[in-house]
Chains A and B, each alone.
Chain A
Amino acid sequence: MTTEEQILELIAEQALMDAEDIKMNDTLEDLGLDSLGFVEIVYGIEEAFDIQVPFNANEPEDNEFDISTIQAVVDGVKDLISEKETG
């Protein structure tokens, strides 16, 4: 499974839907997720890739970590993984 597929699986599990139904330009709201729902996804991502995602549930619009779309989340996680590998 690619990194992207793994992330989509984690999101799908939390949003109670199939990963193939998630579109990259979907927002968390489109998937029926609130910020606290996303906290569980962040935890799953951190555990799966052994990274630290700088996400604070209090700053939905002004976060160190961009969660505006699924694409942004995937890109952000990939960056964190490569930072970790080169870091």
Chain B
Amino acid sequence: MSRRVVITGQGAICALGRGADVVQNAMVEGQIGIAPMDFPDVERLHVNIGAQIKDYDSAAHFTKQQISLYDPFTQFALLAAQEAIDQSGLAFEGHLAESAGVILGTAGGGLQTQEENYRNVFLDGKNRVHPFVVPRLMNNSAASHISMTHNLMGPSFTVASACASSNHAIAQATDMVRLGHCDAMVTGGSDSMLCFGGIKAWEGLRVMSKDGCRPFCATRNGMVQGEGAAIFVIEEYQHARARGADILAEIAGSAMSSDASDIVTPNQDGAERAMRGALRSAKVNPDDIGYINAHGTGTTANDKTEIAAIKSVFGAAAAGLRVSSTKSMHGHLIGGTGAVELLAIIKTLRDGVVPPTVGYQKADPDCDLNIVPNVAQAAKVKAALSNAFAFGGLNAVLALRAT
């Protein structure tokens, strides 16, 4: 009998707010976290909007010594992890502590730390850097600090698969529990790349919008970056039940696939294989799925390819699906995005309300499914998919079930 894996804690911080509940409610209300950004040299960018976390004061959460070790992507992950672990009610001690670990997704890691220190040595001509530049910028920094803060001594590492990093991480952590390596894991993702170099690099690709993220809309003109983290405590079902934990949702299955075709252009077949695999792994039929939280970046190519893939996988059942992209509100958190988007699914499964795709102006015949335009829709959803299709052709889809 296969072990079932459930979510018993959630935590988040992003442009939509602090706290998983706050973010989920903002999604349902269709709030938009995208606005002009604020950081050094932003005026030299052609794209200057993003879903930035505003009015954030690291000193309100961490000591000076901690901040010298925590890049913003680590700070966000630690805040979200604290919330998730508090909510789960789990204390990591004894065998549980020895077996439980942290698997996170990130794409940029400590990019802000890199940028700051390159400025110091190249631009300002300084010949000395802070001793903790390396431990602050490394991609596993967030996972390591969560493990240290919460006494998690089991398998811990960081997954890098660009925009699919969080979904790969969550799928991997789920398998750890499913296979019996441990009864609980901490998982999710974090990214904070809203700095001059981070946006300048994306600008070069010419896939960024200057005026907003409008997934599946005929007037869409690109993606908008966001930042933040979402972290979850996942747990073996009987373990969670035995201690009377509040079960938020079940991670019923997952699948990963590689396009093996192009480094940036999306591939319908790769997306289809990941969705089909997730359905198979969760043992659900296409018509059991009521909601798909789409990858939905707002680029021309992604959105039409994703809709074509969904139609191919779901056939006649596609007409009854709700498909929304919450990136229109929280932006594209790149390596952290799948984790934040999982919050939308949990909200849907628990409260029967599907967060919308906001910014929607005009129908695109290539995206003619129910994309939940602008306003949340009430719907009793028993199972849902979360899509993530990354640059590099690496895809990971999660299948969630209401409990």
Interface set of A (CB-CB < 8 Å, partner B): 34, 36, 39, 42-43, 52, 55-60
What residues of chain A lie closer than 8 Å to B209, measured between beta carbons?
Answer: 56, 58
Chain B 183-219 near chain A by CB (<8 Å), digits 1 or 0 = 0000000000000000000001111110000000000
A43 touches B300 (CB 8 A): no
A39 touches B265 (CB 8 A): no
Closest to A39 in B: B206
A58 touches B221 (CB 8 A): yes
What residues of chain A lie closer than 8 Å to B204, measured between beta carbons?
Answer: 39, 43
Main secondary structure of the interface of B (DSSP, over half): loop
What residues of chain B lie closer than 8 Å to A52, measured between beta carbons?
Answer: 46
Q: B295 on the interface (CB 8 Å rule)?
A: no
Q: Give residues 23-66 of B contacting A (CB, 8 Å).
A: 46
What residues of chain A lie closer than 8 Å to B221, measured between beta carbons?
Answer: 56, 58-59
What residues of chain A lie closer than 8 Å to B208, measured between beta carbons?
Answer: 56
Interface set of B (CB-CB < 8 Å, partner A): 46, 204-209, 220-222, 264-265, 299-301
Main secondary structure of the interface of A (DSSP, over half): loop
What residues of chain B lie closer than 8 Å to A57, measured between beta carbons?
Answer: 205-207, 222, 299-300
What residues of chain A lie closer than 8 Å to B301, measured between beta carbons?
Answer: 58
A12 to chain B, nearest CB (A): 21
Known: A34-B265, A52-B46. A60 touches B300 (CB 8 A): yes
A55 touches B46 (CB 8 A): no
Kindly state the separation between the CA atoms of A42 and B203 in the bound complex, as whole angstroms.
Answer: 12
Known: A58-B221, A58-B300. A42 touches B206 (CB 8 A): yes
Kindly state the separation between the CA atoms of A43 and B201 in the bound complex, as whole angstroms.
Answer: 12
Given contacts A55-B206, A58-B301, 17 further A-B contacts (CB under 8 A): A36-B205, A36-B265, A39-B204, A39-B205, A39-B206, A56-B207, A56-B208, A56-B221, A56-B222, A57-B205, A57-B207, A57-B222, A57-B300, A58-B206, A58-B220, A58-B222, A58-B299
